[in-house]
Structure 1
Amino acid sequence: MNPVRIFISSVQKEFADERAALRDYLRGDALMRRFFEVFLFEELPAADRRTDVAYLDEVRRCDIYVGLFGNDYGSENTGGLSPTEREFDLATAEGKYRLIYVRGTDDAARHPKMRALVHRAEGGLIRKRFNTPSELVARLYAALVEYLEEKQLIRSGPFDAAPCTKATLDDLDPERMAWFIRTARATRRFPLAGDASPAELLEHLNLLDDGRVTNAAVLLFGKKPQRYLLSSEIKCAHFHGTEVAKPIPSYQVYKGTVFDLVDAAVDFVLSKIALSVGTREAGPQAPVRYEIPKEVVAEAIVNAVAHRDYTSNGSVQVMLFANRLEVWNPGTLPPSLTLEKLRQAHGSVPANPLLAEPMYLAGYIERMGTGTRDMIRRCSEAGLPEPEFAVSDGFRTIVRRVQGGEEPSGKTSGKTSGKTSGLILDMIRRQPEITIPEMAEALGKSTRAIEMQLAKLKQSGKVQRIGPAKGGRWEITEGGDE
């Protein structure tokens, strides 16, 4: 999120100590600097524009106007108004959130125009009095925490249940919501009818807060979620070695809904790891096995997306090295869980419950806390070491790859480069009569994705279709055998 901009208005000389104290506190406190950015006119660099124009422009840009009123009124313009009063008037006219602090209790000692300004401010605002800079800091801190709660930037409830302040229903994608209803009905017997409206879906999933769309609604169904929640993207990188090093051979930043992000990141990893395609000796479907089980890759990425801290500026990172897969997210374990408990039967404690429930309904996650144990079991079955889990500056899942080019036990022959087009060519070599739906099922892709890959292969002269759609076969041309 963009920082909340604070403009501090006062007679500079009279409030030099207070202005410095507020600046240092707002920039030094962990909570304050996370949300707020303070502007002081004395820090504005020299520029070729009039002073009065410059500070009034800053009032227009600010979100919160903080007025410090004392005894002095300040220099007056030809109309008899000081900068402080003009700033206050503009903030009022612009509808800014205003906080007024008055130093001292002796109003008789004030300049008559400042006394009048204090009384005018009292007519429409609750103002606080203070005597020392420390008192001022304490009062402003309390007011800013109240502001954050009022704007629901901080709250006792989960982040995903808070309204996405600048998003509206028009920012949600009806087609994505219709897809969700169809998927959830087929996967979890979702009770809403297939023709249910977007409003009915949002109400059913508790994704509205007094008619406002929540952060979860934007993450699940937004047309452009990163417009409002920038760090919700996923960064994927592939390194040939075992450490982070530049240049990065392959680097992608994915945007979209949480469903889009998971699908894209999983595809990124699967396209970079080895895949074995067996024969049809054991049945009509050729067996396909990835070097790291697809379910393990998906579980690690889904957990990172569903349970991360969305208030952090960090993004989920998926890093594939020569010897391991690492998935990192800016989050931590809930107090009731430990790293040891992840390896045992444990309850499900989602950090973002309104986000996790729809992901469960769409079949992306399980609700019973079985995900990490399933990862351990599947890695063991594939002949891989157990996944590692760690909490330091975030939560990290590490899945070890097979060392030295050896294949896990029980793995079939025919290891390929891992790219989808190469895998398609490999399947055609083994079984020329293979159908597009069979390719899609074997590779875990949609039929549309396979059709697009085949179209590219045809266009590049690497493959051609012989005979009709039913009963025909594929043929690899000379270019496809290079």
Structure 2
Amino acid sequence: LDLLPAVHANLQSGPPRGPTFCPHPHSQGNVTKAGLLVAGTYPQQFYPKLFIDMAVYAGTRKGTAGSLRFMDRTICEGTLGEMISDAVAAVAKNLRRTSTVQGVSRVDSLEIPEEVLREAIANAVIHREYGDRFCGQSIAVDVFDDRVEVTNPGGLYGGKTRENLFDGSSRCRNATLVKLMSIVPLPDGAGSPAEGNGSGIPMMIDAMRAHGLAEPLFCPGFDRFKVVLYRSKIEPVDHGGGLIVTALKHYGELGTRELAERTGLTISQVRSRVNALIAQGELEPTAPATSRNRKYRLSERVE
């Protein structure tokens, strides 16, 4: 907790030199990259590409609006806290809002829960790769008609894999940065963006479920990480068959029990409808019927 005053005291020393994240910002009288990003006046003076690029597209993919490349675009600069707050606000103004009456008050709700947006963007900012090879890459927040995608440079770190991503444990690539961000509140008053206890992903999943939305889709890659937040709700249609198709559009591949959990159908209902959809050529299994790993996905003609 004694790091922040030293960071402020050394911000006039010039651009960061030496290791990417030195644990002792005052050891040589030079500001570190972590200190500059958390408490600097304008970090992009030294790292022009360390910003968040928020863009809104017409349709469900890039390049579908002819000569109109963007419906809206915001470059979010400043400290990490300022970038997070500005990016959340920029996305929120491009999402729908709903109003409900609770007692004598009207409550406005964002289409995607604001706490989920903030968590996804904060994770991208805090856990991205800040090594010299990646400093020319910005974070992308892309808003489409059916989803919001948050993509940051750098893959999973410290033994994190696709399989253990949801176990509630935290593996920190940028330890000094997380420590600083845990004591610096966001400019919009939303509190600290870094808890460091692994609770962020479970919270995102629970919040999306509570709003009737598909769970976030986490897409780790070799040198990048993407989170997909779906905007549209899954509605019950045509006695279960449509529910299964809609769920697979959101999740990609699901087993029988997973389909039952996502759709509210019983196991036997899922099996009968899956068999009918396979016979119609709309679904295809990923493994033989005897395999415990058998899942289902949409056939190419449905996708």
Q: Does 1:264 align with 2:86?
A: yes
Per the TM alignment, residue 286 of structure 1 is displaced from its structure 2 partner at its CA by: 3.2
Q: Does 1:394 align with 2:224?
A: yes
Q: Does 1:365 align with 2:194?
A: yes
Residue aligned with 1:211, SS:
coil
CA distance in 2, matches of 1:263, 1:209: 31
Residue aligned with 1:272, SS:
coil
Matching residue of 1:377: 206
Check the 8 A contact 1:275/1:291 in 2, yes or no. yes
CA deviation map 1:200-243 (0-9, x unaligned): xxxxx943332211101100111110111222111000012100
* TM-score, length of structure 1 as denominator length: 0.40
Q: Which structure would you say has the larger RCO, counting Cα contacts within 8 Å and 6 or more residues apart?
A: 2
Q: Which residue identity is paired with 1:298?
A: R
Higher radius of gyration, 1 or 2: 1
* TM-score, length of structure 2 as denominator length: 0.63
Per the TM alignment, residue 320 of structure 1 is displaced from its structure 2 partner at its CA by: 0.5
1:8-157 superposed matches below 5 A:
none
Residue aligned with 2:12, SS:
helix
CA deviation map 1:67-86 (0-9, x unaligned): xxxxxxxxxxxxxxxxxxxx
Matching residue of 1:331: 154
Check the 8 A contact 2:168/2:201 in 1, yes or no. no
Provide the alpha-carbon RMSD of the alignment: 2.3
Match 2:111 to one of 291, 300, 304: 291
Match 1:318 to one of 115, 124, 141: 141
Q: Which residue identity is paired with 1:388?
A: L
CA distance in 2, matches of 1:340, 1:289: 32
Q: Does 1:228 align with 2:42?
A: no
Matching residue of 2:278: none
Per the TM alignment, residue 349 of structure 1 is displaced from its structure 2 partner at its CA by: 1.7
Matching residue of 1:3: none
Q: Does 1:169 align with 2:11?
A: yes
Matching residue of 2:28: 210
CA distance in 2, matches of 1:211, 1:170: 10
Residue aligned with 1:329, SS:
strand
Residues 228, 209 of structure 1: CA spacing in aligned structure 2 closer, same or farther, 3 A cutoff? farther
Residue aligned with 2:106, SS:
coil
CA deviation map 1:314-362 (0-9, x unaligned): 110000100111000001111321122222222x222111111122223
CA distance in 2, matches of 1:239, 1:371: 27
Check the 8 A contact 1:292/1:401 in 2, yes or no. yes
CA distance in 2, matches of 1:286, 1:350: 40
Check the 8 A contact 1:171/1:224 in 2, yes or no. no
Residues 295, 270 of structure 1: CA spacing in aligned structure 2 closer, same or farther, 3 A cutoff? same
Residues 171, 292 of structure 1: CA spacing in aligned structure 2 closer, same or farther, 3 A cutoff? farther
Q: Does 1:300 align with 2:120?
A: yes
Q: Does 1:341 align with 2:164?
A: yes
CA deviation map 1:391-432 (0-9, x unaligned): 22410001111069x8xxxxxxxxxxxxxxxxxxxxxxxxxx
> Which of the two has greater helix per residue?
1
Residue aligned with 1:343, SS:
coil
What is the number of residues matched between the two proteins?
205
Unaligned runs of 5+ in 2: 1-6, 15-22, 186-191, 236-303
Unaligned runs of 5+ in 1: 1-163, 173-204, 407-482
Q: Does 1:282 align with 2:124?
A: no
Percent pairwise identity: 31
Per the TM alignment, residue 171 of structure 1 is displaced from its structure 2 partner at its CA by: 6.7
Check the 8 A contact 2:60/2:146 in 1, yes or no. yes
CA deviation map 1:433-462 (0-9, x unaligned): xxxxxxxxxxxxxxxxxxxxxxxxxxxxxx
Residues 255, 171 of structure 1: CA spacing in aligned structure 2 closer, same or farther, 3 A cutoff? farther
CA distance in 2, matches of 1:364, 1:332: 20
Q: Which residue identity is paired with 1:325?
A: V
Check the 8 A contact 2:44/2:78 in 1, yes or no. yes
Q: Which residue identity is paired with 1:353?
A: A
Check the 8 A contact 2:148/2:230 in 1, yes or no. yes
CA deviation map 1:155-189 (0-9, x unaligned): xxxxxxxxx9xxx63279xxxxxxxxxxxxxxxxx
Residue aligned with 1:372, SS:
helix
CA distance in 2, matches of 1:340, 1:373: 14
1:381-460 superposed matches below 5 A:
381-392=210-221, 393-402=223-232
